A and B are shown apart, each in its own frame.
Chain A
Amino acid sequence: MSEIVGAPTGAIPTSIPEPPRSLWSDAWSTLRHNRAAMTAAVVLGILVVLVLFGPSLSHYRFDKPNWDDIAVPPSLTGGHLFGTDSLGRDLYTRTLMGGRMSLLVGIVSTLVSLIIGIAWGATAGFLGGRVDRVMMRIVDILYALPFMFLVILLMVLFGRNIVLIFVAIGAINWLDMARIVRGQTLGLKQREFIEAARVSGVRPARIILRHIVPNLLGVVVIYVTLTIPQVILVESFLSFLGLGVQEPMTSWGVMVSDGALDMENAPWMLVFPAVFLAITLFCFNYLGDGLRDALDPRDRSGR
């Protein structure tokens, strides 16, 4: 069931060839050995734990203003580790709470994008012809729609349901995924093993699922790590317009856009959420890299 294509590396084997393994256990082993990716995964894990449990362990409430402590710089001894924001709220607690929202946005919306995008793009690319053209035309239409209006309308019709916001953002981002996937599928379609599967009468759906999708995963995974920051930033733009998280909840996007206003006077208001945001994105990046290396079906040589 492995999809080794083409001739092996050509090197003289110096050891007894290992028995064929499944794609996924192979991937896991490669991933395990990728230090950067594993570190990223660990850091992400720590981050998740922090945002989930950190706020409850902090002295301060994230939503309690303090008039005497407005815009206090960070200090290790003074009580506010990261300082306070423009309303005197503890920045450390707020950054962690904001993390909850941002991570939630990242995960849920991207998942939505992923599922719809892959399904759409692979189907369109594989089936080709008329179906492909129609499906891609629909993608074109959706691209040119005024995004903000779509979301405003959704907010009005269905109320300010947070989960709905996530789905809305995700449903708008799947377009990129679909295009890339379709592009890759078009190329993959011509390959021999696909031909072989078709000739042997395997149903299209099965071909898509078992042969095309795993081969797409490399590019898709990279694209996912590019979507997550996009999604988080879109959410911040929406919050900025008043369509996202409502006070007192916050997200890194909101904190960064607010903090940017105080860049010169109180840089900590920008720096801390921005650094957390950056670290999160870096980690997704390295994890994505590692996953790509691990899942690339042609690379059997390991690193």
Chain B
Amino acid sequence: MLRLIIRRLLESIPTLLILIAVTFFMMRMAPGGPFDSEKRLAPEIEANLRAAYHLDEPLYQQFGRYLWNLAQGDFGPSFQYRDRSVTELIAGGFPVSLKLGGFAMLIAVLGGVTLGSLAALRQNKPADYGTMAVAMTGISVPNFVLAPLLVLVFAVYLGWLPAGGLGEAAFWQGGWKNLVLPVITLALTQVAYIARLTRGSMIEVLRSNYIRTARAQGLSTVTILVRHALKPALVPVVSYLGPATAGLITGSVVIEQIFGLPGLGRYFVQGALNRDYTLVLGIVVFYGALIIAFNFLVDLIYGWLDPRSRE
């Protein structure tokens, strides 16, 4: 087990390096620089700015400098937020995105698996149609339509929930209210996907031999479901968790924008639009490391769920 972890760690280093390199050079190749603004800069100022941020050095040197700093945990200064370092911005934004994404994932998995299993058990009956109808709506209504709709209904007309922002109250003292609408909007798409996946794979599993054997032995539906069917049925769901996280990360960009939440998704968009090289690079590296770690976790769960796939 330990060997597995160490091996994975060693393997991820080249991965991260390639990730950093590709992103770094790709960003520099894209037109528009961080100091392009509508007001013209005096050439001296522009030269100073470039020097201060080492933009005048040859690219490979900048890259080396970045890697060296990264190894020491320094993501560099933000080009856009003049007085702040990327590290502190990520440290500030990540907990927000984590809360948002974490709750959304929780709801999506619990909701999706439940709905999908229900639909599979009652295949072709009204419960199946109804559940899949809700699922399809989640997939086909874009979140930039759903979010404003929910805000209009629940915040503006009914006044039950805040319309945006993180609020100033602590989480347990009312701050959670600010997360309700964003989490629901973010989770809805994923619930839909997970429900469909669960249903599809659950149907397949329910038709397989060992389930039929179990049924023939007279075990109750619930026992069959929980003890025998759930684990193998969850295999595609688990392999979807990787893309689900990626989806949550992308989805959170829109959600954070619309609800005004100070998360990494919002930093990412603003950074990309303003060519804040260090901020974008920092977020990419951060997410990259996160995703690699997460995928490792997923592979471990694979092994637990479906012993046949253990290598």
Contacts and interface: CB of A to CB of B under 8 A. Distances in A.
Contacts of B291: 140, 143-144
Give the residue among A157, A176, A183, A184 with the most B Cβ atoms within 10 A: A183
A7 to B, nearest CB: 7
B250 interface: yes
B48 interface: no
A256 B296 CA distance: 38
A239 to B, nearest CB: 12
Interface string A226-265: 1001000100110000000000000001001101100110
Contacts of A147: 250
Interface stretch (B33-41, B72-80, B133-141): B133-141
A157 B31 CA distance: 10
Contact of A260 (B145, B268, B288): B145
Contacts of B148: 260, 263
A180 B236 contact: yes
Contacts of A136: 295
Nearest to B239: A183
Instruction: Give chain B's interface residue range (CB within 8 Å of chain A).
Output: 35 or more
Interface in B266-309: 268, 272, 280, 283-284, 287-288, 291-292, 295, 302, 306, 308-309
A278 interface: yes
A282 B139 CA distance: 10
B272 A236 contact: no
Interface string B247-261: 000100010000000
B209 interface: yes
A187 B288 contact: no
B214 interface: no
B113 interface: no
Interface stretch (B14-22, B55-63, B91-99, B176-184): B14-22
Interface stretch (B103-111, B161-169, B195-203): B195-203
Contacts of A145: 19, 22-23, 284
Interface stretch (A19-27, A65-73, A148-156): A148-156
A53 B284 CA distance: 45
B225 interface: no
A274 interface: yes
Classify the secondary structure of A's interface with B: helix
A223 to B, nearest CB: 8
Given A7-B209, A144-B288, A219 B236 contact: yes
A214 interface: no
Contacts of B145: 256-257, 259-260, 263, 270, 274
A237 B246 CA distance: 16
Interface stretch (A80-88, A104-112, A198-206, A291-299): A291-299
Contact of A137 (B11, B268, B311): B11
Interface of A: 6-7, 128-129, 133, 136-137, 140-141, 143-150, 152-153, 156-157, 175-176, 179-180, 182-184, 186-187, 190, 218-219, 222, 226, 229, 233, 236-237, 253, 256-257, 259-260, 263-264, 270, 274, 277-278, 281-282, 285, 292, 296, 298-299
11 contacts: A140-B15, A144-B291, A145-B23, A147-B250, A149-B30, A149-B280, A156-B29, A183-B302, A187-B308, A190-B308, A260-B144
The 4 closest A-B pairs by CB, nearest first: A144-B288, A183-B239, A186-B309, A281-B140
